[in-house]
Every structure is written in structure tokens, then in C-alpha cells.
Amino acid sequence: MNSYRFFKNDGIHWGSSLVFFRLILEKKERKLPTTLLSNFEPKDVWTEFLALTKTPRCSKQEEKVLGYLEEKALRKGYNYQKDRVGNLFVDLPPTKGSETIPGIILQSHVDMVCEQNRGRNHDFSKDPLDLIVEEDWLRARDTTLGADNGIGVAYMAALLEGSYNHGPLQLLFTIDEETGLTGAIQIQHELLKYKKMINLDTEEEGYFCIGCAGGKETIGTLRLQKRVPNPSEVTLDLEITGLRGGHSGAEIHLELGNSLVILGRILGDFIRVAPLHLFHVYGGDKHNAIPREAFATFSCSKIDLAKFQERLVYWESILKNELGSLDQGIVLKLLSTSKEPDNGVLTAEDQSKIINALQTIPHGIYGWSRAIENLVSTSTNFAAMHMDKESARFLTSQRSDQTTQRDWIALRTGAAMAMSGMKVKESREYPGWNPNPNSPLLKECLRLYPEISGKEGIIQSIHAGLECGVIGDKIPGIDMISFGPDIRAPHTPGEKVSISSVRRTWEFLLRLLEAGK
């Protein structure tokens, strides 16, 4: 009997590579010489991933990585084409003796989430990643690693470059997945050749994904007015840092700290203690990342400074207790600054609207599946809030495996925004992927995986968006599966990938392609 699991657990990995361990006997952490990564097994895969760590590929900036892949296809003599939006399709003919194997699509997205710790000053447009090894894990120093979905891209590039047994393959490299599934949504689906597809964007080894949530974004914009600041007041920076953050779908069930929600709580408390005057608030970035940091700049009377400092000590104790062991790194600071209010401070009315919005915009789980145990059904992520001279913009992201529930939590989020005087719009809507437990691809994976690993495969449906949902909506009847190696903390500077898991998953992928069922 197969095991079933429907949400992610950060504690799972399967072991380690002896070849790798010989490299780290002297230290737990070691900076990785870039020439060394290509000596790990499988050599072809790590050579390709090393190239990706040196190639710019932030979302919407994929030109160089696509050029790298196109050059490979051209040099190898394979037919390839790009569609209108920029997705790359490469045809690999069957190897000798595999001509009768049915064709299959392999798919990964080429872009990565480009995040870094505050103060790192990494330029993703030109700087190679600074790679670190820790036991069986590879990560980048103070930045995202891009193993999501770079390992999948590396698998496909290795197939393109190397000589492995397989039937007819179409390699589909999609663009701009991380900021809204742009490549999948705008794909020229008539260019897809086959009715089977393997997506390589799942982040736990041995888990075979057959379903995902759909989603949309709800955005609120508030026009601002400013007034002349009081020159006798002191100016302070309130900083919330050190939170773990994480993927707003795959890790929403962990109930990690949201820096914007916390900022709303603290500012709401501060204004009950003493008057303050906001002139800047910001936090978060990506729609699919739980925000790790948030900041506010305000002025106040000098005699009230001690009151705010005392309340901040109180809040740090309260929050560490509430967040528990998963998010103990939170740091709260109140610092004096010489910043001048940009075009004045907020009016009392606008300040009230912003603090109310920070306190009332919903965030977190809003429904569990009634069909599948322990699966989050509906959630919303308060993802980002940014201000300029004229307006404040609030970004949220809703997910659900039920379209009606997704639309309801989006409506509720929009209502909270409207009550704070915002103009509300919805965007980037995409469908979910309904699980098919009778999938032939799934059955073949569950048959082969124990032969490779000695463990049974686990069937999974996830509370996150996968390109399978969008592509499957365009190709009725397509048989799809998603799997991949162990990756932890994607979308954060703590992202890391298991080296031994990359090898095992590669061996499984080759066996699956060779079997060709």
C-alpha cells in the first residue's frame, strides 16, 4: 500500500553521498571552489547547475539563461523554437532502440527568486553565487540558491548535452514562473507535442505530486497626502528582521511570522502609548513569499522615545513566545535616524488608514480540505507593502483548490482594503490541478521508485501553484506528474539542496525515461 502525504515537512531527507562527505571532514561549512561542484555525481548535472549559478536568471531577466540553452541545442543539432512569450522548446529524438517509446515532455522554469539578506549587496545581474557546502547540503551565502527550479533545468540540460537512453523527448523551459506563471499562462500550447509531461519542480524526494492549488493576486492602492513635519521631533527607524520567511503556499501551514502583520501590531500598540507621525512604511517583495522583513520611519516627541523603546522590549518577548521554535530569529530594533521626511509626513487620516490596513488585511490559513487530511485548502498571503511620494501599494496572494473559496478570500481581502480607502484590483489568476489518482505516469513512478530507492513513493497534492495546473488546463487529457530532489527554504536566503538527493532523483528520472511507459 502506498503512503499519502499532502503538505511539506522541513525535516525530511534521505542520507548523504560518501564522495561528498570526504570533502567536508575538516569543517561543517566550507566555501565551495567552483571547479569542485562539477566533480560531484552526477557530474553532468552538477556541471550544468554550476553554469546556472553563474548565469543571471531572475524572473523577467531570463535572456542569458535562455541563450545558454539555445546555444547548446544549436551546437548539438537539435530542433528548437521559442514561442511568442519566450518559452523554449527543444526536441530530443529517441536514442537507438527506444524509437517505440511514447513521447514525453520534460518541463522546468528557468527563472529563480532573487532574494538576499539585508546588507549583502549581491548583484544578481552579474555576480556569480557564493556557494557553500554544509554536510549533505549546498547553499549560497546570504542569497537564494536557485535550486528552485535550477536543478530541474540542470537535469534537462544534462539530457540535452549527454548521451542517455530515452524515447522522444520535448524539453520545455518556461519563463517567469515565480512572479505569476507568465510562461505557462501565455504558452503557445499548440507547440506541445505529447500528452505526457513530467514537471521537475517538486521539492521533496520520493513525493509524487498529482495536484495543486489555483491562485490570484489582490492589490490595493492608497493615494497619500503629506503635511509639514514638526522640526522639534526626533526621527526613528523601526526594523523587523530575522524572520524565516518561506513559500506562501508550501509553507503556509507552518504559520511562520509575517513581518507586515507584526509591524501592524506594533504600530497599533505604539499609537496607543503616545503620538507618532509616520512618513514611510515598507516590507516584503514577492507575491509568493511570506515577508521576512518590514520597516517604518516615524517621528515623535523626545520625551516619548523611552516609552516606545520599552514597548519594543515587550513585543520581542511576546513574539518569540508566539512564534515558537520555527521562527526564533526575529529581531526588533528602534534606531535614531537623520532621515528627513520625504515630501512631509502622512496626514493623520492617511496614517490611520495605513495602520488599520496593516492590522486588518487577512493573512494565513482560511480553510482545510474536507477531502484530504492535513491539506490546506484555502489561504491568503499578505506579501508586500511599499510606499512612494504619492501612494502606498499593498500586495496579497490567494490560493485554494476550490475556485469559489479562492474568489471568496480574495473578495474578503479586497473588502478590508476598500475599508481603508484603497482602490482594489485583482490580477494573475490561474487554475488549479485536479488530482488524478489513476494516472498511468503516477502508477509507473510508484512501481519504479522502490526499485531505485528501497522506499515506497508518496502521493502528494500541494497548496501551491504549479505550472502543471495552467498547462493541464490548456491540454485536456494530458497525463502529468511532478517530482524532484530535497530542497529546503526555497525563495529565501536559507535555500539549500541535498547533494545526495539530486543524484538519487537523477537516477530515478533516467530509469523512468528508459522504461518509457
All structural domains of the chain with their residue ranges: 3-213+432-515, 216-430
Distances (CA, A) of 436 to 141, 323, 375, 456: 40, 37, 16, 19
Enter the C-alpha cell of residue 84.
511568442
Q: Give helix 147-161 / helix 43-53 axis angle, nearest 10°.
A: 130
- Tell how strand 331-336 and strand 289-290 pair up: unpaired
Which residues are known to be catalytic? 111, 177
Q: What is the CATH code for 3-213+432-515?
A: 3.40.630.10
> What class has domain 216-430?
alpha beta
DSSP bridge pairs for 367: 378
At 172 the pLDDT is: 98
At 18 the pLDDT is: 30
At 29 the pLDDT is: 55
Enter the C-alpha cell of residue 60.
523577467
At 39 the pLDDT is: 76
At 275 the pLDDT is: 96
Backbone angle region of 301, left / alpha / beta, with phi > 0 → left and psi within -120 to 50 → alpha: beta
Q: Are 93 and 166 in contact (CB under 8 A)?
A: no
pTM comes to: 0.72
What backbone phi and psi angles, to 5 degrees, belong to 448? -85, -30
At 339 the pLDDT is: 73
Residue with cell 518509457: 516
CA pair distance 246, 83, nearest whole angstrom: 32
At 53 the pLDDT is: 96
At 35 the pLDDT is: 54
Output the DSSP codes for 68-112. HHHHHHHHHT--EEE-TT--EEEEEPPPTT-TTSPPEEEEEE--B
Distances (CA, A) of 58 to 124, 171, 179, 292: 7, 20, 10, 19
The alpha carbon of residue 355 and the mean position of all alpha carbons in its chain are separated, in whole angstroms, by: 27
Handedness of CA 336, 342, 344, 345 (dihedral sign): negative
List, run by run, the mean pLDDT of 10-residue segments along the chain (517 residues).
36 31 42 65 95 96 98 97 97 94 97 92 95 94 96 98 95 93 95 97 95 94 91 93 90 94 98 95 91 96 95 95 91 88 85 97 93 87 95 97 92 97 94 89 96 93 90 94 96 94 97 85
Distances (CA, A) of 221 to 181, 279, 331, 460: 23, 17, 29, 37
CA pair distance 482, 203, nearest whole angstrom: 9
CA pair distance 462, 460, nearest whole angstrom: 6
